[in-house]
Amino acid sequence: MNLDNLLMLLDEIDCVSQAEKQSLESCLRQLVENIFKLQYWELEQGRNYKQWQSMVFDSRNCIQKSLRNNPKIKEYLETIYPILYQDAVNTSQTQFYIPNNVPIELEQILDKNYFG
């Protein structure tokens, strides 16, 4: 990425309020963590599957609302996703096993039909 493109991206990101960024990050992180629970937390799936699935819907709705209100926020999502994804992996691995080399792409995790 050249400097002009980076500066343009930073200008666009600045259009997004700090509160909106924090809300978006929280929704995205919750989405990833709940997808992991649906995929990998076998001991708790029987009791919590529907709740986790509901939380996935809520997180996606939160993200989609932000995208509708500010389409430029998609670039911010793409920038922060790898960091938030790794944070979610680290947090979830304290509760249950998650393979290290099975990444989930942003487009896949935002797909309304994807649950792991």
pLDDT band at 3 (very low <50, low <70, confident <90, very high): low
| Angle at alpha carbon of residue 54, lines to 50 and 55, rounded to 5° | 120
Supply the pLDDT for residue 114: 93
Q: Which domain holds residue 76?
A: 24-110
Average pLDDT over residues 91-113: 90
* 5 within a domain of the structure (yes/no): no
CB atoms closer than 10 angstroms to residue 88: 21
* Sign of the dihedral through C-alpha 34, 109, 60, 78: positive
Q: How far is 103 from 105, CA to CA, in rounded Å? A: 6
Task: Report how many domains make up the chain.
Answer: 1
Cα-based distances in Å from 67 to 33, 44, 50, 54, 76: 20, 32, 26, 20, 10
- For the segment 58-71, the average pLDDT, to the nearest whole number, is 92
Cα separation, 58 vs 61, in Å, equals: 5
Residue 47: pLDDT band by 50, 70, 90 thresholds? confident
Question: Which one-letter amino acid corresponds to residue 11?
Answer: D
Whole-prediction pTM? 0.80
According to the model, what pLDDT value does residue 16 have? 63
Flag whether 9 is in a domain.
Answer: no
Residue 7 domain flag: no
Is position 8 within any domain? no
